[in-house]
């Protein structure tokens, strides 16, 4: 590929492919330049440094993951949507391991502000709204669901489940069942009025600080 044929998107896509093949953490500007048959300085007019390349790959990964999730949850609600949501994450991690790794690192402002990030948030909110969970609770629910899915997928990827039986495929539906139960219970608790006479209810209706951060 000639230098004149290079573009920012082409450089980032090649970087993403190399990350999938060799690992995101191992990626260098020199690797991408060598793959494109150019000198490393030729890339700096398209990506200013390695961090910019990493951010570009993270945004590309967000776009791919968001596309998969939107397709997986379209026309579905509650557990069916949750299943599609979870499966989209797992298949993405298997098929694009380097891109998955890019999303498991601390993200900069450019990545957080990318349209793909907002689209992913919207898709996640769609799943939660299907359970009747109020928007004010979405951050907490997203963290819990994301931690469970990402934790399972990460442990599976590094081989932690490889030496035990039954196989991870038999546990995955149970994880989804557990998350489904959590989200159903979450919605029920949010819509059930507190009983002031219930000793197990932690909320005190007479506490002036109740409901404040």
Per-residue model confidence as pLDDT tens digits over 62-88: 999 999 999 999 999 999 999 999 999
Q: Per-residue pLDDT for 1 more than 60?
A: no
pTM of the model: 0.84
pLDDT score at 190: 66
Residue 187 confidence class, pLDDT cut points 50, 70, 90: confident
Enumerate the domain spans of the chain: 59-191
Mean residue pLDDT of the chain comes to: 88
Q: Per-residue pLDDT for 199 more than 70?
A: no
Q: Per-residue pLDDT for 129 more than 50?
A: yes
Which CATH fold topology does 59-191 show?
Tetracycline Repressor; domain 2 (1.10.357)
Residue 108 confidence class, pLDDT cut points 50, 70, 90: confident
* DSSP, residue by residue, the chain: --GGG--HHHHHHHHHHHHHHH-STT--HHHHHHHTTS-GGGGGGTSSSHHHHHHHHHHHHHHHHHHHHHHHHTT--HHHHHHHHHHHHHHHHHH-HHHHHHTTS---HHHHTSHHHHHHHHHHHHHHHTTT--GGGHHHHHHHHHHHHHHHHHHHHTTTTTTSSS-HHHHHHHHHHHHHHHHHHHHHHHHSPP-TT-TT----TT-TTTT--
- Ranges 4-8, 48-52, 106-110, most confident: 48-52
Q: Per-residue pLDDT for 109 more than 70?
A: yes
């Amino acid at each position: 590929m000639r230098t004149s044929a290079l573009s920012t998107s082409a450089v980032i896509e090649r970087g993403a492919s190399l990350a999938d093949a060799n690992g995101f953490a191992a990626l260098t500007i020199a690797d991408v330049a060598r793959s494109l048959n150019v000198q490393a300085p030729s890339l700096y007019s398209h990506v200013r440094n390695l961090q910019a390349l990493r951010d570009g790959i993270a945004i590309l990964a967000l776009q791919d993951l968001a596309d998969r999730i939107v397709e997986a949850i379209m026309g579905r609600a509650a557990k069916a949507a949750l299943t599609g949501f979870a499966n989209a994450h797992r298949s993405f991690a298997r098929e694009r391991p380097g891109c998955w790794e890019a999303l498991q690192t601390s993200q900069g402002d450019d990545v957080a502000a990318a349209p793909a990030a907002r689209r992913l948030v919207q898709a996640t909110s769609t799943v939660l709204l299907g359970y009747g969970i109020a928007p004010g609770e979405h951050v907490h629910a997203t963290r819990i669901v994301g931690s469970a899915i990402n934790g399972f997928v990460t442990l599976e990827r590094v081989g932690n489940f490889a030496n035990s039986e039954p196989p991870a495929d038999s546990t995955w539906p149970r994880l989804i069942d557990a998350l489904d139960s959590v989200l159903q219970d979450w919605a029920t608790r949010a819509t059930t009025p507190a009983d002031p006479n219930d000793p197990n209810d932690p909320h005190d209706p007479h506490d002036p600080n109740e409901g404040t951060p």
